[in-house]
Amino acid sequence: MGYPLVYIANENRYKEMIYNRVGRSGLKLPAISLGLWHNFAGVDAYENGRAMLHRAFDLGITHFDLANNYGPPPGSAEEMFGRILKTDFAPYRDEMIISSKAGYHMWDGPYGDWGSKKYLMASLDQSLQRMGLDYVDIFYSHRPDPDTPLEETMGALDLMVRQGKALYVGISSYSPEQTAEAARILKDLGTPLLIHQPSYSMLNRSIEEGLQDVLEENGVGSIAFCPLAQGLLTNKYLHGIPEGSRAARENTFLDANRIDEALVAKLQKLNGIAEQRGQSLAQMSLAWVLRKGKITTALIGASRVSQIEQNVAALSNLEFSETELKEIDSILA
């Protein structure tokens, strides 16, 4: 399949996508966002990544989520995105929300990890250089740092906005208590906390235990990562671990030991509900995360264009009956 030398975006790209307001801010994000954690790196096929980005934008996905360490090698996802931004997306920059993060190991020595002002400011400068940008739309503290005062980490986020290197700031994987304190510090500094990025899926509901309440109280939006539980909530594992799947490979974040008979039985029952709804298990799982508007946007990953198309199609049926929700809760109990 050949790709055009000059990319021209689909003129109907905004007609079908749903856009949700982020907390109490003026910003809206698409209900489905695309993450570049996997499959957009130096070891991956450039043309496949380019095709996925084209199709995502053509379907109304305006938010592209990156981090300094996405690869492998670290930094290569930002480099790849920057290349495509320059050659294909330059006319559309102002139609995009581009985010990056820092908080995990990026370079050697005491200043290449966690949450110090030194690390975060240097990391943002490096990310901007890799992507060829003057600013990112959202910059996140990727994880809380137990050894750095929260005032320092939040102060760095505030400084980024004041320097014009980020329009908004967010946090990821912070506890409810840490989130409330981060929101307070940022409010006092004059840079509101825009968004929190937690892990959330039918198989990981921990954010329902306090975090969602904190976000609502403080007017903070949310973007759920791993809404498909790293592929568990797809048809891939309905009969155990298939050869060549992520769970079958070593050195992945998906623990094969999780996929036991009990989990497979739950997945099969959930798939039965999805079929009754006219959806795949993945589509129902995304719809469930977005139910009742408590999550601003679901962050998907993809390895091929068809996955993006199928995931966006989930938006055609976001409503659940009380019977369906109770049945899902019963299966997951």
Average pLDDT rounded to a whole number, residues 174-184: 98
pLDDT value at position 176?
98
pLDDT value at position 260?
81
pTM score, whole prediction: 0.93
236 — pLDDT class (breaks 50, 70, 90):
confident
Which of 206, 195, 124, 190 minimizes the C-alpha distance to 155? Answer: 190
pLDDT value at position 246?
56
Q: Which two tokens stand for residue 268?
A: 């099969």
Average pLDDT rounded to a whole number, residues 218-229: 97
pLDDT value at position 70?
97
The tens digit of pLDDT for each residue in 81-100 reads 999 999 999 999 999 999 99
Q: Is-contact 207 201, C-beta < 8 A?
A: no
Q: Is-contact 48 84, C-beta < 8 A?
A: no
Q: Say yes or no to pLDDT of 78 above 70.
A: yes
Q: Which two tokens stand for residue 93?
A: 């920059």
Mean pLDDT score of the chain, rounded to an integer?
94
The tens digit of pLDDT for each residue in 30-49 reads 999 999 999 998 878 899 99
> How many Å apart are CA 264 and CA 140, to the nearest integer?
35
**Do β-strands 19-21 and 28-30 pair in parallel, antiparallel, or remain unpaired?**
antiparallel
Which of 274, 317, 297, 236 minimizes the C-alpha distance to 56? Answer: 297
Highest mean pLDDT out of 37-46, 228-237, 297-306: 297-306
Location of structure tokens 């570049």 = 36
DSSP lists the bridge partners of residue 30 as: 19
Longest dimension (CA), the chain: 54
> How many Å apart are CA 116 and CA 321, to the nearest integer?
46
> How many Å apart are CA 68 and CA 104, to the nearest integer?
8
Q: Which residues contact 6 (CB under 8 A, 6 or more apart)?
A: none
3-class SS of residue 123: helix
Average pLDDT rounded to a whole number, residues 231-236: 91
- Return the sign of the alpha-carbon dihedral for residues 121, 165, 160, 131: negative
Q: Say yes or no to pLDDT of 66 above 90.
A: yes
Structural element, H or E, at residue 223? strand 221-225
DSSP lists the bridge partners of residue 169 as: 139, 193
The tens digit of pLDDT for each residue in 242-298 reads 665 555 455 455 566 677 889 999 999 999 999 999 999 999 999 999 999 989 999
Full set of structural domains in the chain with CATH: 19-332 (3.20.20.100)
CA dihedral 175, 181, 186, 192 (to 10 degrees): 60
